[in-house]
Structure 1
Amino acid sequence: MDFFHSQETLRSIEWMLRAIIAFFFLLIVVKVMGQRAISQLRLLDFVITLVLGNIIAHPLSDEHLGMKGSMISTVVLVVLYTGGLLISLKSRRIEKILEPAPFPLIKEGEIIYKGLKKARISIDHLLAELRKEKIEDVNKVALALWESDGKISIFLDPKYEALTPAIYQMKTEPFDLPRTIIKEGKIDSTVFAEINKEEGWLINTLNNHHQTEVNNVLLATIDRKKDLKVFLYK
Protein backbone atom coordinates (compact mmCIF):
# COMPACT_ATOMS: atom_id res chain seq x y z
CA MET A 1 0.00 0.00 0.00
CA ASP A 2 2.99 2.34 -0.33
CA PHE A 3 1.49 3.80 -3.49
CA PHE A 4 -1.27 5.24 -1.32
CA HIS A 5 1.16 7.65 0.34
CA SER A 6 3.45 10.36 -0.96
CA GLN A 7 6.21 8.98 -3.20
CA GLU A 8 9.08 10.39 -5.23
CA THR A 9 8.04 8.26 -8.20
CA LEU A 10 5.25 5.82 -8.97
CA ARG A 11 5.17 2.86 -11.33
CA SER A 12 2.43 2.58 -13.94
CA ILE A 13 0.54 -0.07 -11.93
CA GLU A 14 0.62 2.21 -8.88
CA TRP A 15 -0.86 5.08 -10.88
CA MET A 16 -3.60 2.72 -12.05
CA LEU A 17 -4.37 1.59 -8.49
CA ARG A 18 -4.57 5.20 -7.35
CA ALA A 19 -7.03 6.03 -10.13
CA ILE A 20 -9.23 3.02 -9.35
CA ILE A 21 -9.33 3.80 -5.63
CA ALA A 22 -10.09 7.49 -6.28
CA PHE A 23 -12.89 6.58 -8.72
CA PHE A 24 -14.77 4.30 -6.33
CA PHE A 25 -14.06 6.58 -3.36
CA LEU A 26 -15.73 9.48 -5.18
CA LEU A 27 -18.69 7.30 -6.15
CA ILE A 28 -19.25 6.58 -2.46
CA VAL A 29 -18.76 10.22 -1.45
CA VAL A 30 -21.28 11.51 -4.00
CA LYS A 31 -23.83 8.89 -2.96
CA VAL A 32 -23.44 9.99 0.66
CA MET A 33 -23.78 13.67 -0.33
CA GLY A 34 -27.08 12.92 -2.04
CA GLN A 35 -28.54 13.38 -5.50
CA ARG A 36 -28.86 17.14 -5.16
CA ALA A 37 -25.05 17.41 -5.20
CA ILE A 38 -25.00 15.82 -8.65
CA SER A 39 -26.48 19.04 -10.05
CA GLN A 40 -28.55 17.50 -12.84
CA LEU A 41 -25.84 15.09 -13.95
CA ARG A 42 -25.89 11.34 -13.67
CA LEU A 43 -23.76 9.94 -10.87
CA LEU A 44 -21.08 8.54 -13.20
CA ASP A 45 -21.01 11.72 -15.29
CA PHE A 46 -20.54 13.89 -12.22
CA VAL A 47 -17.69 11.80 -10.83
CA ILE A 48 -15.80 11.47 -14.11
CA THR A 49 -16.11 15.21 -14.83
CA LEU A 50 -14.88 16.14 -11.37
CA VAL A 51 -11.91 13.78 -11.42
CA LEU A 52 -10.68 14.30 -14.97
CA GLY A 53 -10.60 18.06 -14.59
CA ASN A 54 -8.27 17.80 -11.61
CA ILE A 55 -6.08 15.08 -13.10
CA ILE A 56 -5.36 17.01 -16.28
CA ALA A 57 -4.98 20.39 -14.53
CA HIS A 58 -2.23 19.39 -12.09
CA PRO A 59 0.55 18.42 -14.54
CA LEU A 60 -0.28 21.47 -16.67
CA SER A 61 0.22 23.82 -13.71
CA ASP A 62 3.09 22.07 -11.87
CA GLU A 63 6.36 21.67 -13.72
CA HIS A 64 7.50 18.99 -11.27
CA LEU A 65 4.72 16.63 -12.32
CA GLY A 66 5.04 14.58 -15.49
CA MET A 67 2.21 13.76 -17.90
CA LYS A 68 2.68 10.00 -17.69
CA GLY A 69 0.80 9.52 -14.43
CA SER A 70 -2.08 11.78 -15.45
CA MET A 71 -2.46 10.05 -18.81
CA ILE A 72 -2.49 6.60 -17.19
CA SER A 73 -5.03 7.75 -14.59
CA THR A 74 -7.22 9.30 -17.29
CA VAL A 75 -7.24 6.12 -19.39
CA VAL A 76 -8.11 4.00 -16.35
CA LEU A 77 -10.97 6.31 -15.34
CA VAL A 78 -12.39 6.41 -18.86
CA VAL A 79 -12.32 2.60 -18.95
CA LEU A 80 -14.06 2.46 -15.57
CA TYR A 81 -16.64 5.02 -16.73
CA THR A 82 -17.39 3.17 -19.97
CA GLY A 83 -17.48 -0.15 -18.15
CA GLY A 84 -19.86 1.28 -15.56
CA LEU A 85 -22.25 2.41 -18.28
CA LEU A 86 -22.17 -0.97 -20.02
CA ILE A 87 -22.64 -2.89 -16.77
CA SER A 88 -25.56 -0.66 -15.75
CA LEU A 89 -27.28 -1.51 -19.05
CA LYS A 90 -26.98 -5.25 -18.40
CA SER A 91 -27.36 -5.39 -14.63
CA ARG A 92 -30.58 -4.12 -13.08
CA ARG A 93 -28.99 -4.10 -9.61
CA ILE A 94 -26.04 -1.92 -10.70
CA GLU A 95 -28.37 0.37 -12.64
CA LYS A 96 -30.41 1.01 -9.48
CA ILE A 97 -27.23 2.00 -7.64
CA LEU A 98 -25.93 4.34 -10.33
CA GLU A 99 -29.34 5.68 -11.43
CA PRO A 100 -31.89 5.26 -8.63
CA ALA A 101 -35.57 5.04 -9.46
CA PRO A 102 -37.58 8.27 -9.06
CA PHE A 103 -39.57 8.72 -5.87
CA PRO A 104 -42.52 11.00 -5.04
CA LEU A 105 -42.27 14.42 -3.40
CA ILE A 106 -45.96 15.25 -3.90
CA LYS A 107 -48.80 12.79 -4.41
CA GLU A 108 -52.42 13.78 -4.96
CA GLY A 109 -51.84 17.27 -3.57
CA GLU A 110 -50.03 16.07 -0.45
CA ILE A 111 -46.34 16.74 0.25
CA ILE A 112 -44.38 13.56 1.02
CA TYR A 113 -41.99 14.63 3.79
CA LYS A 114 -40.00 11.39 3.62
CA GLY A 115 -39.36 12.13 -0.05
CA LEU A 116 -38.06 15.62 0.79
CA LYS A 117 -35.66 14.15 3.36
CA LYS A 118 -34.46 11.51 0.91
CA ALA A 119 -33.86 14.13 -1.80
CA ARG A 120 -32.32 16.45 0.81
CA ILE A 121 -34.27 19.49 -0.30
CA SER A 122 -36.37 21.94 1.68
CA ILE A 123 -40.02 22.82 1.25
CA ASP A 124 -38.91 26.25 -0.01
CA HIS A 125 -36.91 24.56 -2.78
CA LEU A 126 -39.90 22.43 -3.73
CA LEU A 127 -42.20 25.47 -3.84
CA ALA A 128 -39.64 27.32 -5.97
CA GLU A 129 -39.67 24.47 -8.49
CA LEU A 130 -43.47 24.61 -8.59
CA ARG A 131 -43.36 28.36 -9.24
CA LYS A 132 -41.02 27.77 -12.19
CA GLU A 133 -43.79 25.64 -13.68
CA LYS A 134 -46.36 28.40 -12.97
CA ILE A 135 -48.01 26.30 -10.25
CA GLU A 136 -49.04 28.35 -7.23
CA ASP A 137 -50.96 25.66 -5.31
CA VAL A 138 -49.60 22.29 -4.17
CA ASN A 139 -53.13 20.88 -4.24
CA LYS A 140 -53.13 21.15 -8.04
CA VAL A 141 -50.28 18.63 -8.33
CA ALA A 142 -51.24 15.02 -8.94
CA LEU A 143 -47.66 13.77 -8.79
CA ALA A 144 -44.17 15.27 -8.42
CA LEU A 145 -41.21 12.92 -8.78
CA TRP A 146 -37.56 13.45 -7.83
CA GLU A 147 -35.51 12.12 -10.75
CA SER A 148 -32.04 10.59 -10.61
CA ASP A 149 -30.50 13.67 -12.29
CA GLY A 150 -31.78 16.04 -9.60
CA LYS A 151 -34.74 17.37 -11.57
CA ILE A 152 -38.37 17.34 -10.46
CA SER A 153 -41.02 15.98 -12.85
CA ILE A 154 -44.40 17.57 -12.14
CA PHE A 155 -47.80 16.30 -13.31
CA LEU A 156 -50.93 18.37 -12.72
CA ASP A 157 -54.28 16.95 -11.72
CA PRO A 158 -56.26 16.57 -14.99
CA LYS A 159 -58.89 19.09 -13.91
CA TYR A 160 -56.19 21.77 -13.71
CA GLU A 161 -54.57 20.96 -17.04
CA ALA A 162 -54.73 23.64 -19.72
CA LEU A 163 -57.37 23.12 -22.39
CA THR A 164 -55.97 22.22 -25.79
CA PRO A 165 -57.50 22.03 -29.28
CA ALA A 166 -57.07 18.25 -29.15
CA ILE A 167 -59.61 18.01 -26.32
CA TYR A 168 -62.27 19.58 -28.56
CA GLN A 169 -60.95 17.80 -31.68
CA MET A 170 -60.24 21.14 -33.33
CA LYS A 171 -58.10 21.41 -36.43
CA THR A 172 -54.93 23.43 -36.02
CA GLU A 173 -52.28 24.85 -38.33
CA PRO A 174 -49.14 22.73 -38.77
CA PHE A 175 -46.14 23.74 -36.70
CA ASP A 176 -44.09 26.45 -38.40
CA LEU A 177 -40.74 27.65 -37.10
CA PRO A 178 -40.10 31.24 -38.29
CA ARG A 179 -36.75 31.86 -40.00
CA THR A 180 -34.42 34.67 -39.00
CA ILE A 181 -34.12 36.99 -41.99
CA ILE A 182 -32.42 39.96 -40.26
CA LYS A 183 -30.13 39.80 -37.24
CA GLU A 184 -28.40 42.85 -35.77
CA GLY A 185 -28.92 44.91 -38.90
CA LYS A 186 -27.66 42.24 -41.32
CA ILE A 187 -29.81 40.39 -43.88
CA ASP A 188 -29.55 36.61 -44.21
CA SER A 189 -29.80 36.21 -47.99
CA THR A 190 -30.14 32.39 -47.78
CA VAL A 191 -33.75 32.76 -46.58
CA PHE A 192 -34.96 34.46 -49.79
CA ALA A 193 -34.70 31.24 -51.83
CA GLU A 194 -37.04 29.50 -49.37
CA ILE A 195 -39.72 32.20 -49.35
CA ASN A 196 -39.48 33.04 -53.08
CA LYS A 197 -38.86 36.71 -52.40
CA GLU A 198 -36.07 39.17 -53.13
CA GLU A 199 -34.15 41.59 -50.95
CA GLY A 200 -36.04 44.52 -52.49
CA TRP A 201 -39.32 43.13 -51.17
CA LEU A 202 -37.88 43.04 -47.63
CA ILE A 203 -36.58 46.60 -47.82
CA ASN A 204 -39.91 47.90 -49.17
CA THR A 205 -41.86 46.04 -46.49
CA LEU A 206 -39.70 47.57 -43.77
CA ASN A 207 -40.16 51.06 -45.21
CA ASN A 208 -43.91 50.82 -45.88
CA HIS A 209 -45.17 48.78 -42.91
CA HIS A 210 -42.61 49.42 -40.19
CA GLN A 211 -41.21 52.81 -41.21
CA THR A 212 -37.63 51.72 -40.64
CA GLU A 213 -34.48 50.53 -42.39
CA VAL A 214 -32.47 47.31 -42.19
CA ASN A 215 -29.70 48.76 -40.00
CA ASN A 216 -32.29 49.71 -37.33
CA VAL A 217 -33.54 46.12 -36.99
CA LEU A 218 -32.28 44.01 -34.09
CA LEU A 219 -34.17 40.92 -35.23
CA ALA A 220 -36.67 40.10 -37.97
CA THR A 221 -38.29 36.72 -38.56
CA ILE A 222 -40.58 35.45 -41.29
CA ASP A 223 -42.86 32.41 -41.44
CA ARG A 224 -44.16 30.44 -44.40
CA LYS A 225 -47.16 32.78 -44.67
CA LYS A 226 -44.71 35.64 -45.31
CA ASP A 227 -45.66 37.20 -41.95
CA LEU A 228 -42.73 39.44 -40.99
CA LYS A 229 -42.07 40.12 -37.29
CA VAL A 230 -39.68 43.01 -36.64
CA PHE A 231 -37.88 43.92 -33.40
CA LEU A 232 -36.04 47.26 -33.42
CA TYR A 233 -33.09 48.43 -31.39
CA LYS A 234 -34.28 50.18 -28.24
Structure 2
Amino acid sequence: MKKNKIDMNQMLQMMRKEKVFSLREVAYAILEADGTMSILKKAKYETPTVSAMNLPLKPVFLPVTLINDGKVDWENLSKSGHSEEWLLNHLRKHNITRYKDIFYFEWKEDEGVYLEKM
Protein backbone atom coordinates (compact mmCIF):
# COMPACT_ATOMS: atom_id res chain seq x y z
CA MET A 1 0.00 0.00 0.00
CA LYS A 2 2.86 2.36 0.73
CA LYS A 3 4.27 1.71 -2.71
CA ASN A 4 0.95 2.82 -4.23
CA LYS A 5 0.66 5.82 -1.88
CA ILE A 6 -2.59 4.64 -0.29
CA ASP A 7 -3.06 5.53 3.36
CA MET A 8 -5.09 3.55 5.88
CA ASN A 9 -8.17 5.79 5.55
CA GLN A 10 -8.22 5.30 1.78
CA MET A 11 -7.80 1.55 2.21
CA LEU A 12 -10.64 1.39 4.74
CA GLN A 13 -12.87 3.35 2.37
CA MET A 14 -12.07 0.94 -0.46
CA MET A 15 -12.84 -1.99 1.84
CA ARG A 16 -16.21 -0.52 2.81
CA LYS A 17 -17.13 -0.25 -0.86
CA GLU A 18 -16.58 -4.02 -0.97
CA LYS A 19 -18.86 -4.41 2.09
CA VAL A 20 -15.96 -5.16 4.43
CA PHE A 21 -16.05 -2.96 7.52
CA SER A 22 -13.15 -4.32 9.56
CA LEU A 23 -9.60 -5.25 8.66
CA ARG A 24 -9.98 -8.34 10.85
CA GLU A 25 -12.36 -9.80 8.22
CA VAL A 26 -9.72 -9.76 5.46
CA ALA A 27 -7.65 -12.78 4.46
CA TYR A 28 -6.27 -11.14 1.30
CA ALA A 29 -6.68 -7.69 -0.25
CA ILE A 30 -5.43 -7.05 -3.76
CA LEU A 31 -5.07 -3.59 -5.27
CA GLU A 32 -6.10 -4.04 -8.89
CA ALA A 33 -4.56 -2.25 -11.88
CA ASP A 34 -7.68 -0.09 -12.26
CA GLY A 35 -7.29 1.20 -8.69
CA THR A 36 -10.08 -0.88 -7.14
CA MET A 37 -9.59 -3.39 -4.37
CA SER A 38 -10.54 -7.06 -4.48
CA ILE A 39 -11.00 -8.73 -1.12
CA LEU A 40 -11.09 -12.35 -0.02
CA LYS A 41 -12.66 -12.58 3.42
CA LYS A 42 -11.58 -14.98 6.13
CA ALA A 43 -13.83 -18.04 6.13
CA LYS A 44 -15.57 -17.17 9.38
CA TYR A 45 -16.67 -13.81 7.92
CA GLU A 46 -17.96 -15.14 4.60
CA THR A 47 -21.69 -15.01 4.02
CA PRO A 48 -22.97 -18.59 3.86
CA THR A 49 -24.35 -19.69 0.52
CA VAL A 50 -27.62 -21.49 -0.08
CA SER A 51 -25.75 -24.67 -0.99
CA ALA A 52 -23.51 -24.46 2.09
CA MET A 53 -26.61 -24.35 4.25
CA ASN A 54 -28.25 -27.22 2.29
CA LEU A 55 -31.29 -25.10 1.49
CA PRO A 56 -33.46 -25.76 -1.56
CA LEU A 57 -32.57 -23.60 -4.55
CA LYS A 58 -35.21 -21.16 -5.77
CA PRO A 59 -35.35 -20.04 -9.39
CA VAL A 60 -34.39 -16.43 -10.06
CA PHE A 61 -36.72 -14.24 -12.09
CA LEU A 62 -36.04 -10.83 -13.60
CA PRO A 63 -38.68 -8.13 -13.23
CA VAL A 64 -40.29 -7.00 -16.49
CA THR A 65 -41.10 -3.30 -16.85
CA LEU A 66 -44.55 -2.93 -18.36
CA ILE A 67 -45.17 0.80 -17.81
CA ASN A 68 -42.44 3.41 -17.46
CA ASP A 69 -43.25 7.09 -17.01
CA GLY A 70 -46.84 6.64 -18.21
CA LYS A 71 -45.93 4.70 -21.36
CA VAL A 72 -46.77 1.03 -21.87
CA ASP A 73 -44.01 -1.21 -23.21
CA TRP A 74 -46.23 -3.33 -25.47
CA GLU A 75 -43.39 -5.65 -26.45
CA ASN A 76 -42.61 -6.49 -22.81
CA LEU A 77 -46.32 -6.95 -22.09
CA SER A 78 -46.57 -9.46 -24.91
CA LYS A 79 -43.34 -11.26 -23.99
CA SER A 80 -44.52 -11.57 -20.39
CA GLY A 81 -47.55 -13.51 -21.64
CA HIS A 82 -50.05 -10.89 -20.51
CA SER A 83 -52.74 -8.99 -22.37
CA GLU A 84 -53.86 -5.39 -22.25
CA GLU A 85 -57.01 -6.58 -20.45
CA TRP A 86 -54.84 -8.17 -17.72
CA LEU A 87 -52.94 -4.89 -17.37
CA LEU A 88 -56.13 -2.82 -17.19
CA ASN A 89 -57.57 -5.16 -14.54
CA HIS A 90 -54.52 -4.56 -12.34
CA LEU A 91 -54.80 -0.82 -12.83
CA ARG A 92 -58.50 -0.88 -11.90
CA LYS A 93 -57.63 -2.66 -8.63
CA HIS A 94 -55.67 0.50 -7.76
CA ASN A 95 -58.40 2.86 -9.02
CA ILE A 96 -56.29 3.89 -12.00
CA THR A 97 -57.91 4.43 -15.39
CA ARG A 98 -55.10 5.96 -17.46
CA TYR A 99 -51.63 4.67 -18.25
CA LYS A 100 -50.22 8.18 -17.91
CA ASP A 101 -51.07 8.07 -14.18
CA ILE A 102 -48.49 5.32 -13.64
CA PHE A 103 -44.88 6.24 -12.96
CA TYR A 104 -43.64 2.63 -12.91
CA PHE A 105 -45.30 -0.79 -13.25
CA GLU A 106 -43.41 -4.06 -13.24
CA TRP A 107 -44.30 -7.73 -13.13
CA LYS A 108 -42.11 -10.47 -11.67
CA GLU A 109 -43.04 -14.12 -12.03
CA ASP A 110 -42.51 -15.06 -8.39
CA GLU A 111 -43.78 -11.81 -6.83
CA GLY A 112 -46.45 -10.47 -9.17
CA VAL A 113 -47.12 -6.78 -9.75
CA TYR A 114 -45.39 -3.73 -8.30
CA LEU A 115 -46.48 -0.21 -9.24
CA GLU A 116 -45.84 3.41 -8.35
CA LYS A 117 -48.34 6.14 -9.24
CA MET A 118 -47.27 9.50 -10.66
The TM-score, its normalising length taken from structure 2, stands at 0.86
Identity across aligned pairs (percent)? Answer: 29
The CA deviation at 1:149 is: 1.8
> Where in structure 2 are the equivalents of 1:24-173 lying within 5 Å?
116-173=1-58
Unaligned runs of 5+ in 2: none
The CA deviation at 1:198 is: 1.0
Q: Partner residue of 1:190?
A: 75
The CA deviation at 1:192 is: 2.5
SS of 2:67's equivalent?
A: strand
Look up the equivalent residue of 1:201 and give its one-letter code: W
Contact 2:61 2:110 in 1 (8 A): no
The TM-score, its normalising length taken from structure 1, stands at 0.46
Q: Partner residue of 1:231?
A: 116
The CA deviation at 1:157 is: 0.9
Greater C-alpha Rg: 1
Look up the equivalent residue of 1:211 and give its one-letter code: N
The CA deviation at 1:164 is: 2.1
The CA deviation at 1:143 is: 0.9
Choose from 164, 180, 183 the match for 2:65. 180
Give the CA RMSD over aligned residues. Answer: 1.8
Unaligned runs of 5+ in 1: 1-115
SS of 1:118's equivalent?
A: coil
Compare the two structures and name the one with the higher strand fraction.
2
Higher relative contact order (CA 8 A, sep 6+): 2
Look up the equivalent residue of 1:118 and give its one-letter code: K
Runs in 1 of length 4+ with deviation above 4 angstroms? none
Q: Cα deviations across residues 138-196 of structure 1 (Å, max 9, x unaligned)?
A: 10111110112211101111111112211122222222111111100111011232232
Q: Partner residue of 2:95?
A: 211
